[in-house]
Amino acid sequence: MIRKNYLTIISFSTIFLFSCKKENVSTPGIIYKLKTANTTSTFGRVAAGSITWTSGYASVSEIEFEAENNNIEIEYKSEIKQKIDLFSSLSTLSSIIVPTGTYRDIEFEIEIEPNGNDAALELKGQYTSGTVITPVVFKVNNEIEIESEKNDIIITDSRSYSALTTLNLSLLSVGITESMLNNATRTNGVIEISSTSNTTLYKTMLERLKSCGGVEVDD
């Protein structure tokens, strides 16, 4: 059984979303979007080393809307099976139609999992230490649930809103030192950071990934 890792992005506010009845599939309710920002990570108090991410993707399998409505827990899902370019200006995943009502303890969720030969998430870039530049790959081989939280949502009509999650890649290096990367195992000259290679770095970066994002909801 694949163990899930939960990426929790918390933003406490009350917002108003507008949607339509679930049967009216011609009008989207909540449109899920994903992008990355700040692609350079630095190490230590003095920026002696850095990783610059240049490309990457995520294998999105499903989006979910979970909440409490009239003291009843509800859940709406949409399966999409889509490979997202994390370095495009903005990737639109899909939308979920949510019936009108007042919802509390909202969770916007994006399921990411390996698909065929594709990892759940993969980033490629280069590690720079002084004048030495080394290719680096961060590969997540586990199923991941990216979770964004809101306190309250009131859905009243057929207008669409978007839920945009932005992953701040500069935070991935928090807790990692230049020495750790200099001593990392190279595979054919590449620093591969995954569940099977350089596992200490992998666990650290995976934890940082859980808190490197933020969500915005707009019309």
**Which is higher by pLDDT, 16 or 157?**
157
170 closest CA partner among 58, 6, 47:
47
- Write down the pLDDT at residue 202: 94
Contact between 4 and 62 (Cβ < 8 Å): no
In terms of average pLDDT, the best of 17-21, 22-26, 65-69 is: 65-69
* pLDDT tens sequence across 52-71: 999 999 999 999 988 888 88
* pLDDT tens sequence across 173-200: 888 888 899 999 999 999 999 999 999 9
* pLDDT tens sequence across 81-122: 899 999 988 888 888 888 877 888 888 888 889 999 999 999
160 closest CA partner among 102, 108, 218:
218
Interatomic CA distance for residues 156 and 162, integer angstroms:
15
Q: Please check the confidence at residue 22 and state whether its pLDDT lies above 50.
A: no
In terms of average pLDDT, the best of 14-18, 38-42, 177-181, 197-201 is: 197-201
Mean pLDDT computed over every residue of the chain: 80
pLDDT band at 47, cuts 50/70/90?
A: low
- Write down the pLDDT at residue 8: 43
- Write down the pLDDT at residue 52: 93
Interatomic CA distance for residues 192 and 187, integer angstroms:
7
- Write down the pLDDT at residue 159: 66
- Write down the pLDDT at residue 136: 96
- Write down the pLDDT at residue 58: 92
**Which is higher by pLDDT, 2 or 206?**
206
Give the residue extent of every domain in the chain.
5-218
192 closest CA partner among 129, 145, 131, 141:
141
- pTM of the model as a whole: 0.77
163 closest CA partner among 109, 84, 121:
109
